[in-house]
Amino acid sequence: MMQYAKKIRHLLDRLYLVSGVAAAFCLIAILFLIVVQMLARWTGEMFPGAPNYAGYAMAAASFLAFANALNHGAHIRVSIVLNAVSPFWNRIINTACFIVGTAVAWYFVYYATRFTFWSWKFNEVSQGQDAIALWIPQSAMVVGAIVLAIALTDNLLHLLLRGEDRVIKSDLGTASE
């Protein structure tokens, strides 16, 4: 049983890392699009759809980075409250937050998946000059949302079973002497 748990843990950690790397590639794509658009303007050419593609890449980068950011303590947490209460209340507050976060994430996944499906079914395209099928950029958002929901569920189960979440505690935002 323990070997399966280690394999699942390794698989989940790898999933969060791959999602974070994909987010980084989306940011590099944004940089590339901006540079190409600047070059096109300087040479008098047009690059239709570049702002739209950059926007799609930004949405994809945001959603793909959520799970990795969560596990590395980069999300906003009210640490001042968590540090001020007893360990018992800390666990209760953390559990309640992860329950709400997990429920909201899976709720979002459900409706984002439906929204993307209907965009695909109706062949919905963007209103810009590029006229790209909208289900393509929406799919990246859905994948990122699914990975975030998995990460929140993972943290919730870890908190319930082991008494602590898997969020790496960061020294950022804390006073040091």
Encode pLDDT of 111-169 as tens digits.
Answer: 999 999 999 999 998 887 778 888 998 999 999 999 999 999 999 999 999 888 888 77
Q: What Å distances lie between residue 169 and 28, 95, 123, 135, CA to CA?
A: 28, 16, 45, 37
Kindly list the domain boundaries of the chain, sorted by start residue.
2-162
Residues written for the chain: 177
Cα–Cα distances in angstroms (integers) from residue 135 to residues 61, 119, 121, 156, 160, in the given order: 16, 5, 9, 31, 36
Per-residue pLDDT for 173 more than 60?
Answer: no
| pLDDT, position 78 | 67
Cα separations in angstroms, 93 against 48, 63, 81, 100: 49, 25, 9, 11
pLDDT of residue 177: 36
Per-chain mean pLDDT for the chain: 88
pLDDT in tens, 40-93: 999 999 888 888 889 889 999 999 999 998 888 777 776 778 788 898 998 899
Tokens of 69: 């950011």
